[in-house]
Chains A and B, each alone.
Chain A
């Protein structure tokens, strides 16, 4: 399978503090890949630097065999990458419908088909299309954030902690949607603290600790790994 995204030796620093220290990983086309790790491991910084929201200090970001480093966010989004930011960040004073249209801001063609697609995935959004996004519940806002990202018709969708602050039953729904989107051909790079759910959904997984990737494997492999089980899944080592 082709690698859609190849990260080589990526470094990100904020005013002298190195958040990401030379990580490398691949995201193959059509896969769900997850980065798991504790707070401050550098997961979000990785995503934000891929999409150009923060400038990376060194390394390569190849997407579809094109170098993304140095491009503006605008141009990166145009290449077919989109980010579902941490904490949902929907536009609270815009309606659901307007939020979805914002997701397709870079596109000039007709949106009807994609709107139908998103409304099919999230029937609840269709019901509430004329409500302002601020009146939605947390789970609905997360659905909207994902739907909004899908409106740019991305090849790769990156999600930053989509389960954050949601009730377990809602989290289950979010992961069902992630699988469904993936089944329909969108590649997904998922950053999660909910390692349990993320590893179940992932084809490949990487573990990040203090800016470095310390472990990698298929989702199932890592879910079985003793150290991972102890550190991230809250299950005691079998002695």
Chain B
């Protein structure tokens, strides 16, 4: 299969996906559960891929994702609430300090940029740490960010611990897929670049990577900042999807959810993260909802089913995955048209690419 046909097939598939989404939107009521799941799935796919860039491709075990999403979500909310609504939203803070509103797209980019700036500053001390220590430090900083955004003194900007709402948001599921898709494509391009190869080298062996002349601090910082940029963007998208935002929702539990997605999908696989993100959201938001509701079959009260039981089931699932399926769905492999084609025709990857190289 030539490169050209592969590109054509990929473009056709993406086109078909958007067409299907468009048709679904035309024909199903907009409140249908399917759209909720697809939107949230797309957002989580982006944040999972951004986390995978750090944990899977650069080998930095960071747990700060929720914090950076919070920065993004707040940046978006604060900058886009229409001026007319500010008095109402910031009712405890005399309408707040900021008296302008930006276009949503600009606000989304700024959301990423501010998250990246936070990441740069936090990264200066934190990236000197390794493995578990890095995880603890990033987790701590994420909680600190949350506390600061809830701080009353910052109320004129962040509205303290009150809701941000009334900001504009795109309703169409197409927007979420497009935004998330573009961002994931950018991350994939980074991973496949020389920088990406250096990230993987650092993951595999820091000492050898350094001996090759790779500046460890510089490359780790880039991975951290880029990952946080996209976490910030996904935070903005999440704010948009939820139509109101509050710091309290960005707890470490959220980071763990994303980590769960990354692990299920396969640490070091972009497509794995995407697949498992949709899988996770569909299960947790839709198909496994029944676990949380008390159920009677006839007179029989089904045991165990009550609020919170869903989490127990997820805990069991992650234990099973960690014990028996450490590779996740995809391992470090990627799902692509080419890999399916090769599987069907029985051609090995080695032969084809080796032939192309020589």
Task: Look across to chain B and name the residue whose beta carbon is closest to the beta carbon of A72.
Answer: B215
B211 with A91: CB separation less than 8 A: no
B357 with A97: CB separation less than 8 A: yes
Interface string of B86-102 (1 = CB under 8 A from A): 00000000000000000
B273 vs chain A, min Cβ distance (A): 17
Task: Look across to chain B and name the residue whose beta carbon is closest to the beta carbon of A52.
Answer: B210
When distances are taken between beta carbons in the complex, the residues of chain A under 8 Å from B332 are 93
B342 vs chain A, min Cβ distance (A): 13
CB contact between B200 and one of A85, A89, A94 (< 8 Å): that residue: A94
A152 vs chain B, min Cβ distance (A): 7
Task: Look across to chain A and name the residue whose beta carbon is closest to the beta carbon of B198.
Answer: A105
**B205: interface (CB < 8 Å):** yes
CB contact between A129 and one of B194, B203, B211, B357 (< 8 Å): that residue: B357
Q: How far apart sit A103 and B198, CA to CA, in the bound complex (Å)? A: 10
B207 with A98: CB separation less than 8 A: no
**B208: interface (CB < 8 Å):** yes
B214 with A91: CB separation less than 8 A: no
Q: How far apart sit A73 and B103, CA to CA, in the bound complex (Å)? A: 46
**A102: interface (CB < 8 Å):** yes
A74 with B215: CB separation less than 8 A: yes
When distances are taken between beta carbons in the complex, the residues of chain A under 8 Å from B209 are 91, 102
**A148: interface (CB < 8 Å):** yes
Contact flag A106-B213 (CB < 8 Å), given A98-B197, A130-B353, A131-B350: yes
Interface residues of A in 134-155 (CB under 8 A from B): 148, 152
Interface string of B172-214 (1 = CB under 8 A from A): 0000000000000000000000100110110111011111111
When distances are taken between beta carbons in the complex, the residues of chain B under 8 Å from A105 are 194, 198, 201, 212-214
| From B194, B205, B208, B268, residue with most partner A Cβ within 10 Å | B208
Contact flag A89-B213 (CB < 8 Å), given A97-B357, A102-B201, A129-B357: no
B204 with A91: CB separation less than 8 A: yes
Task: Look across to chain A and name the residue whose beta carbon is closest to the beta carbon of B214.
Answer: A105
**B354: interface (CB < 8 Å):** yes
| From A82, A105, A126, residue with most partner B Cβ within 10 Å | A105
**A230: interface (CB < 8 Å):** no
Interface string of B6-43 (1 = CB under 8 A from A): 00000000000000000000000000000000000000
Q: How far apart sit A89 and B211, CA to CA, in the bound complex (Å)? A: 10
A105 vs chain B, min Cβ distance (A): 5
Contact flag A93-B357 (CB < 8 Å), given A101-B197, A152-B212: no
B211 with A85: CB separation less than 8 A: yes
Interface residues of A in 46-93 (CB under 8 A from B): 51, 53, 72-74, 76-78, 82-83, 85, 89-93
When distances are taken between beta carbons in the complex, the residues of chain A under 8 Å from B211 are 51, 53, 73, 77, 82-83, 85, 89
Interface residues of B in 326-358 (CB under 8 A from A): 332, 349-350, 353-354, 357-358
When distances are taken between beta carbons in the complex, the residues of chain A under 8 Å from B213 are 73-74, 76-78, 105-106, 152
Interface size on A, residues (CB 8 A): 30
A94 with B350: CB separation less than 8 A: no
| From B204, B211, B349, residue with most partner A Cβ within 10 Å | B211
A143 vs chain B, min Cβ distance (A): 15
Q: How far apart sit A91 and B200, CA to CA, in the bound complex (Å)? A: 8
When distances are taken between beta carbons in the complex, the residues of chain A under 8 Å from B214 are 74, 102, 105
When distances are taken between beta carbons in the complex, the residues of chain B under 8 Å from A82 are 211-212
Q: How far apart sit A148 and B201, CA to CA, in the bound complex (Å)? A: 12
B197 with A53: CB separation less than 8 A: no
When distances are taken between beta carbons in the complex, the residues of chain A under 8 Å from B205 are 89-92
Q: How far apart sit A111 and B311, CA to CA, in the bound complex (Å)? A: 53
CB contact between B203 and one of A51, A93, A106 (< 8 Å): that residue: A93
When distances are taken between beta carbons in the complex, the residues of chain B under 8 Å from A78 are 213
Contact flag A91-B350 (CB < 8 Å), given A51-B211, A97-B357, A102-B212: no
Task: Look across to chain B and name the residue whose beta carbon is closest to the beta carbon of A104.
Answer: B212
When distances are taken between beta carbons in the complex, the residues of chain B under 8 Å from A98 are 197, 200
Q: How far apart sit A93 and B203, CA to CA, in the bound complex (Å)? A: 9
B218 vs chain A, min Cβ distance (A): 9
CB contact between B208 and one of A77, A90, A131 (< 8 Å): that residue: A90
When distances are taken between beta carbons in the complex, the residues of chain B under 8 Å from A130 are 349-350, 353-354, 357
When distances are taken between beta carbons in the complex, the residues of chain B under 8 Å from A129 are 354, 357
CB contact between B207 and one of A53, A94, A102, A106 (< 8 Å): that residue: A53
Q: Which residues of A contact B (CB under 8 A)?
A: 51, 53, 72-74, 76-78, 82-83, 85, 89-94, 97-98, 101-103, 105-106, 126, 129-131, 148, 152
**What are 21 contact pairs spanning A and B, CB under 8 A?**
A73-B211, A74-B215, A77-B212, A85-B208, A89-B205, A89-B207, A89-B211, A91-B205, A94-B200, A101-B197, A102-B209, A102-B212, A102-B214, A105-B194, A105-B201, A106-B212, A130-B349, A130-B350, A130-B354, A152-B212, A152-B213
Known: A77-B211, A105-B201. 11 other contacts (CB 8 A): A53-B207, A74-B213, A83-B211, A91-B205, A93-B200, A93-B268, A97-B357, A101-B197, A102-B209, A103-B212, A126-B358
